[in-house]
Structure 1
Amino acid sequence: MARKERKPNKLVVWLKDHPMPACVIVLSLIALIAGLLLGGVNQLTYQSPEEKLAKNLSKAYESDAGWTKVENLSDYNVSPSDSSTTLTAAYKSAAEGKDVYIYTTSAKGYKSGLELMIVVENDKIIKIMKTSSSETMGIESKESFLNQFYNVDLTTIDGFRTNKQKTTIGKEVSAVSSATKTSNAVASSVDIVAKYHKAIKGGNK
């Protein structure tokens, strides 16, 4: 009995006869699958702004302090030395017996968008943490530079400045020679924190 010959698959035949459209279809399918996979990964790793803030606060001050946002920052009588630097938020520890504040800042350095979290405990800066930056200098690696801001009573000074800035107001610190603009951005961020902290603690509105 003769074996019945199988008819070729019409789709396979069409793909062989039309190589260019077939290539486009295959690439489109690959792109679609890759997009779906990427979307799934993003969905799994997505953090809401609130979740990201909570994570950064916990990372900045590794203690179950609890945080209360300081409202109406614009009411305080503060004049920053650099108009491109802003204090974006302030948080106070809600834990009993804790005198801890965390401030978030935004400044422009060599490139735009240097965002920091600055932790103040008992009126002294104990940590400066980058939360977002496009700067080439990794500020966390410049310990000798950052150490100049630590353990200074913010209620007794009029802010900070680097030796490369034009202003003469505030405690002077030495900028990193190879990263002057980023150093100035960090100093301006700490400067505005120092001024706001002094105003908040003194009720200077």
Structure 2
Amino acid sequence: MTAKTKNRIQCVAVLAIIALCSGLLLGAFNLLTYVDPFQSTLDGFKKDSGAEGEFTMVVADEPVNYGTGQIVYYAVSDDEVPVHAFLAGGSGGYQGTVQIYVYVRDNKIYKIVIGENSETFLGKLDDANYYENFYDKDLTELSDFNDVDTVSGATLSSTAVRNGVNAVVRYYNEEISKGGKA
């Protein structure tokens, strides 16, 4: 074996060892830092909702689309009075879709939490108490919240939130209140 061939074999071996070590380190890092999106969502539902019981995921495979809104995840708690928790998306925002977490108990929305989004005007919705428009109304007596006015200066953001809430209302009435899904 010539010195040149031996040198090439050593270079290939060193590169192979570097690649193997890098792959093992990346794999270990992934194992240590991986966050299961379903479990993360369930944990968020429990924390935000104030539910005592555990949540069971009902919709998790494919989002359920309703035109300008969609249900990404839906889970229900095993509380005596169940909490229905939704991760919904409303399109039409200034920067695209707004993620919202909507919590329903006794057929009424009692909490909305804003999720991931790129909107810059959502603070105006807080200032205008916009979310109060959706609380404590019997969803089974509604088809949507299209009569809720948008917030001046945050028209697109408030429209996106309303679109997400409307998807929740529609899903709730079609699948839950009529004895469909849990």
Q: Give the TM-score normalised by the residue count of structure 2.
A: 0.70
Provide the secondary structure at the position in 2 that maps to 1:160.
Answer: coil
Aligned to 2:101: 117
Q: Deviations over 1:49-95 (max 9, x none)?
A: 23421331123212322112225999xxx983xx2421112111112
Partner Cα separation in structure 1 for residue 50 and residue 180 of structure 2: 30
- Whether the aligned pair in 1 keeps the contact of 2:70 and 2:167 (CA below 8 Å) is yes
CA–CA separation in structure 1 for the residues paired with 2:163 and 2:149: 13
Task: Report matched runs for 1:180-195 at 5 Å.
Answer: 180-195=155-170
* Larger Rg, first or second structure (1 or 2): 1
- The structure that is strand-richer by fraction is 2
C-alpha contact 2:56 2:76 (8 A) present in aligned 1: yes
Q: How does 1:89-104 map to 2 (within 5 A)?
A: 89-95=73-79, 97-104=80-87
Which ranges in structure 1 are unaligned for 5 or more consecutive residues? Answer: 1-39, 162-171
For 1:101, give the aligned amino acid: H
Percent identity of the aligned residues? 28
Alignment of structure 1 residues 66-145 onto 2, 5 Å: 66-71=54-59, 80=66, 83-95=67-79, 97-108=80-91, 109-138=93-122, 141-142=126-127, 144-145=129-130
Q: TM-score, normalised by structure 1?
A: 0.63
Q: Whole-Å Cα distance in 2 between the matches of residues 72 and 112 of structure 1?
A: 22
Q: Which runs of 5 or more structure 2 residues have no equivalent in the other structure?
A: 1-28
Alpha-carbon distance in 2 for matches of 1:54, 1:79: 21
Moved over 6 A (4+): 42-45
After superposition, the CA RMSD in angstroms is: 3.0
Structure 1: how far apart are the matches of 2:55 and 2:128? 27
Distance 1:44 1:113 in 2: 31
